[in-house]
Structure 1
Amino acid sequence: MKSNALMKFFLKFLLPVLIFVILFFFNSYAALAFAVLYIAYSLYDGRSAIFAIMGNVSYGKGDVQKSMEWFRKAYATGKAQPKTIISYAYLLLKYGKVNESEAILDKFLSKSPAFDDEMLAKSNLALVLWKKGNLDGAVDLLEEVFSKYKTTTIYGSLGYLLILKGDLEKALAFNLEAYDYNNSNSVIVDNLAQNYYLLGELDKSEEIYEKLMSQNPTYPEAYYNYGLTLEAKGKIDKALENMEKALNFQFTFLSTVSREDVENKIKELKSKKNNSGEQ
């Protein structure tokens, strides 16, 4: 491995410098022409990385369509780095292009990638399975990944899918483990609080959601789920306030609640408030 890396370094950097020096010794114009051609070739050869950077910049600015287009260009070069490929597949999934995402991940995994890249790709493929309605397959795949590779993201994804499967005691054991692993991650905290809510342990759920709110989460589920706990505790005003906050954040194909879900719950809470005469 080291010898291969040294050879690549020699061919890509040292050899061109050596050629430039030799050419410059005999003919400075030839050396300059060589330098221009080498820079042009390097930019062309590294265009996938440049496209990926542009994709990240566009995404950071909130321009999802432009970001998707840059990542598509990076992928189309055939020279994209594994993390670029996986990021593109995730972006496609996040915005509803499930089959395209699955095809990219399947193709990537068929090439026997490095261990870390394989685990990351499989964890994303599990989300594809979930969104295609194969919850059991998604959980099985994530549990396979988790047995070899533990990260905050995997704890968060698997913790939520275990809740969806309905074995709330098993889910709770896992989400408590996840909380011990990283109690500052908003998804992990949300999973545990939601788990307690579904088990009817409302005081514990509210306590954990108050911790989550102090982190100012930037996704709608946190406020929606907190609102459900508050509603169950009879705190209609506060529940309504959090439901309305949920509408300030972006809903995507991977969101676990829809804008319509939130809007319907707001109407329901307003109706409860009016009927009870609560101020």
Structure 2
Amino acid sequence: MEFLGKKWKFVAIVYFIVCYIFVMVIKHMSLSTLLLFYAGFILLTIVLFLGTSIGFIGILVQSAFKNDDKAYKYYRLAYKLHTNNISIITSYGLVLLKKDNINEAIEIFKKALSLKPQFLADKIIKCNIAICHWKLGNIDEAINMYEKVFKDFEKATDTDDEPKELEESLDEENELTDEYVIKTNSYVYAQDYTTLGYLYLLKKDYDKAIENSKKALMLNATHAPALDNLGQIYYELNDYGEAIKNLKSALEINPNMADSNYYMGLIFEKKNDIEEARKYYKKTASCNINALNTVTREDVERKLEKYS
């Protein structure tokens, strides 16, 4: 079925062309007859690739309603029906990851990787596996995977598309700065640098944590999670002024960031401004919190119980 799936687009194109020629040109039948032939082929496609058809319903549901729970049942059924569609399998793994079903998620991502995804999908899946390692407590493995992805994808920068004169000038003057490399690599996103920055924060390597968070901001100056990273880093360094500045910047962009609200609460708690801390903890409780957050629902509930 996997082999058939790879060839089915070609089969479909040939079928539609041949069917049109036979029905409309040779036999001079009606348009409704042609549409009936087409409908029959589409029905056959749905039956042959039932898992993939159901999985695409999941993608549509998730896109329309932004609801992982509604999409989850379609992804799960699609996977049980042995879909080999990489987008569907990866989406299923991501929903499992958000639900904190980490061991199951990592197996799903490995399945997607075994299907030999194309260039960018390969990178996304590897980053998701790295996040699974983080959630399983394997921080070093997660960092190593991210660093390898960055190294591999550095070779894929868009420098080949630059004018030859510019390339020669850069080589001669050795002015290929970090910012130039970052901004000309279409395959590494702000979120990638942000995640790596947070992993280094967990290792208490604050210099690398700050460096990668700032790289994320080079790509997107309004990337709120990178600002949140910096806020958490400076909180750990007891630089509350700098922490508040970055956390407030993050919340100006996205007021519903659970992590930034929570750390604002921690800072005001440190400053013994309990009323202000409680306000931020209440706001955190109203935010969407899943396994990809750096704070848990239990953390927030403990704070609210303490200061209720």
Tell me whether the two structures share a fold, i.e. TM-score over 0.5.
yes
Q: Counterparts of 1:139-158 in structure 2 under 5 Å? A: 139-147=143-151, 148=153, 149-158=187-196
CA distance in 1, matches of 2:118, 2:142: 21
Matched, 1:38 2:34: no
Name which of structure 1's ranges 65-74 and 231-240 shifts more when overlaid on structure 2.
231-240
Which residue number in structure 1 is paired with residue 302 of structure 2?
Answer: 264
Q: 1:178 aligns with which of 216, 220, 224?
A: 216
Which residue number in structure 1 is paired with residue 122 of structure 2?
Answer: 118
Rate the CA distance shift 1:44–1:153 in 2: closer, same or farther, 3 A: farther
Matched, 1:242 2:280: yes
Q: How far has the Cα of 1:7 moved from its partner?
A: 5.0
Q: How far has the Cα of 1:232 moved from its partner?
A: 3.1
One-letter code of the match for 1:246? T
Matched, 1:85 2:89: yes
CA distance in 2, matches of 1:229, 1:17: 70
One-letter code of the match for 2:145? L
CA distance in 2, matches of 1:6, 1:63: 30
Rate the CA distance shift 1:245–1:119 in 2: closer, same or farther, 3 A: same
**2:224–2:249 contact (8 Å) kept in structure 1:** no
Name which of structure 1's ranges 138-147 and 104-113 shifts more when overlaid on structure 2.
104-113
One-letter code of the match for 1:15? V
Identity %: 28
SS at match of 1:104: helix
Q: 2:227 aligns with which of 165, 186, 189?
A: 189
CA distance in 2, matches of 1:109, 1:165: 28
Q: How far has the Cα of 1:48 moved from its partner?
A: 5.0
**1:23–1:30 contact (8 Å) kept in structure 2:** no
Matched, 1:131 2:169: no
RMSD over aligned Cα, in angstroms?
A: 2.9
CA distance in 2, matches of 1:62, 1:27: 43
Which residue number in structure 2 is paired with residue 277 of structure 1?
Answer: none
Which residue number in structure 1 is paired with residue 79 of structure 2?
Answer: 75
Q: How far has the Cα of 1:89 moved from its partner?
A: 0.7
Rate the CA distance shift 1:169–1:234 in 2: closer, same or farther, 3 A: farther
Rate the CA distance shift 1:20–1:194 in 2: closer, same or farther, 3 A: farther
Which residue number in structure 2 is paired with residue 274 of structure 1?
Answer: none
Which residue number in structure 2 is paired with residue 109 of structure 1?
Answer: 113
One-letter code of the match for 1:231? E
CA distance in 2, matches of 1:42, 1:213: 47
**1:202–1:232 contact (8 Å) kept in structure 2:** no
Rate the CA distance shift 1:108–1:49 in 2: closer, same or farther, 3 A: closer
Q: How far has the Cα of 1:169 moved from its partner?
A: 2.0
SS at match of 2:127: helix
**1:48–1:75 contact (8 Å) kept in structure 2:** yes
Deviations along 1:211-253, one digit per CA (max 9) or x if unpaired, are 1221234342221012223333444322221111110123323
Rate the CA distance shift 1:111–1:67 in 2: closer, same or farther, 3 A: closer
Rate the CA distance shift 1:239–1:32 in 2: closer, same or farther, 3 A: closer
> Could you tell me the TM-score, scaled by structure 1's length?
0.82
Which residue number in structure 1 is paired with residue 207 of structure 2?
Answer: 169
Which residue number in structure 1 is paired with residue 18 of structure 2?
Answer: 15
**1:95–1:253 contact (8 Å) kept in structure 2:** yes
Q: Which runs of 5+ in 1 are unaligned?
A: 272-279
Which residue number in structure 2 is paired with residue 275 of structure 1?
Answer: none
Q: How far has the Cα of 1:16 moved from its partner?
A: 3.5
CA distance in 1, matches of 2:48, 2:41: 10
CA distance in 1, matches of 2:22, 2:80: 32
Rate the CA distance shift 1:200–1:24 in 2: closer, same or farther, 3 A: farther
Deviations along 1:167-189, one digit per CA (max 9) or x if unpaired, are 11221122122222222122111
SS at match of 1:251: coil
CA distance in 1, matches of 2:147, 2:283: 34
CA distance in 2, matches of 1:121, 1:213: 29
Deviations along 1:20-75, one digit per CA (max 9) or x if unpaired, are 32465268886464233123224445655643443245445465443111112333
